[in-house]
Amino acid sequence: MLESNDTPLSPPKTVSFWAAFAFWLKLGFISFGGPAGQISIMHQELVEQRRWISERRFLHALNYCMVLPGPEAQQLAIYIGWLMHRTLGGIVAGTLFVLPSLFILIALSWAYIAYGDLPLVAGLFYGIKPAVTAIVFQAAHRIGSRALKNNLLWGIAIAAFVAIFAANIPFPAIVAIAALLGYVGGKLYPEQFKVGGGHGSSAKSFGAALIDDHTPTPAHARFSWSRVLKVIVIGALLWAIPIALLMSWFGLDGVFTQMGLFFTKAALLTFGGAYAVLPYVFQGAVEHYGWLSAAQMIDGLGLGETTPGPLIMVVAFVGFIGGYLKEVFGPEALFLSGATAATLVTWFTFLPSYVFILLGGPLVESTHGNLKFTAPLTAITAAVVGVILDLALFFGYHVVWPTGLSGRFDVTSAVIGLLVKLLAL
């Protein structure tokens, strides 16, 4: 990262829209590993290698995304794309983050439901699960090494791990408690929270960035009430018009209409990522609406874990199977029914993320260096380190003991995971 004289490399003078487009498209195909792995990839690419954005600005945006409902990695992509290339940049970044996953899941869902068991696919993706586990462990180490700069933040991370691992406290409660601790701690011990959740000097670590710590907020990212109203109105119309059309074509009780309404509610409850909302999706899609069986839901989760994109993309599988089995367009158009349902479900699940970022981004950009706002976010980042570690252990347990502790130890998966971890060091 440094030239021969050990001086930081100069940042890129500019990044064109199409250069960014190419990166977001690439990210859509390589974003394995759930939010921890995806955030780690973005940090490595955008902060360390390309230096499009400084670590302080990157983590400040990430802290905001962490407290929103919805997939935080995709929201972070929207945020950075918006900051660099206005609203169109954010829309492109967020859309390309999930589009490859949608196409892949539609294809796999069709093969799954049309041809039954998928031993070939299972074999192809067998090695991905231990690799994903290693990536999540590495992400916990990466973020922790930068966020946990003192004993107080270490204590918050440990407490968060114990809370979710041993006490099974919901993630939203952990976030709320961490934010409260950060707010109080910022007043009582301001020096302990000025590190900004690991917001060290990006110039010292990786070189100056295009959007650096002290780069002025661009005009399009400044707060204005007219912009707030515009985002709210457009966001509401983008939700209401499809719902109105579905109701007029299929009725309120139609499968597509019910999917739109149900997954809108699910999108607003996804605090803590996909695993926090999966029980709600399971209860609604399997037990209430009967769009698919419990066994199919579990299989879909397996496919979601082994494809790029956010894990919550499992909803595309749910939608496809539901539309296919309900024969919405008749028995002669089963694939069309499933693909349409998967696309609709994806639309209603991810639409709120764009609205949240475009609404809240200007407020977040105005809080750099304001300890009243940054201290709670610093504490949240510390707590998230403990939560990511819990997720890594959860993955690790199910990968190396797939049938439980009383079953066999999967040596092959353990070796693959260890090799990936060593390569990532």
Q: Where in the sequence is the domain holding 361, given as residue range(s)? A: 14-425
Q: Looking at residue 279, what is its pLDDT?
A: 67
Question: What is the band of 108 on the pLDDT scale with cuts at 50, 70, 90?
Answer: confident
Tens digits of residue pLDDT in 152-205:
899 999 998 898 888 878 776 887 898 899 889 888 888 887 754 333 333 445
pLDDT at 379 over 50: yes
257 in any annotated domain:
yes
- The residue ranking higher by pLDDT, 261 or 268, is 261
202 in any annotated domain:
yes
- Contact criterion met (CB below 8 Å) for 99 and 316: no
9 in any annotated domain:
no
Tens digits of residue pLDDT in 283-311:
789 888 999 987 788 777 777 777 888 87
**Closest C-alpha among 303, 259, 255 to residue 281:** 259
350 in any annotated domain:
yes
What does pTM read for this prediction? 0.72
Whole-angstrom CA distances from 141 to 44, 137, 274 are 13, 6, 21
**Closest C-alpha among 37, 87, 109, 22 to residue 309:** 37
pLDDT at 331 over 70: yes
pLDDT at 258 over 90: yes
304 in any annotated domain:
yes
Q: What is the count of structural domains for the chain?
A: 1
6 in any annotated domain:
no
Q: Looking at residue 116, what is its pLDDT?
A: 57
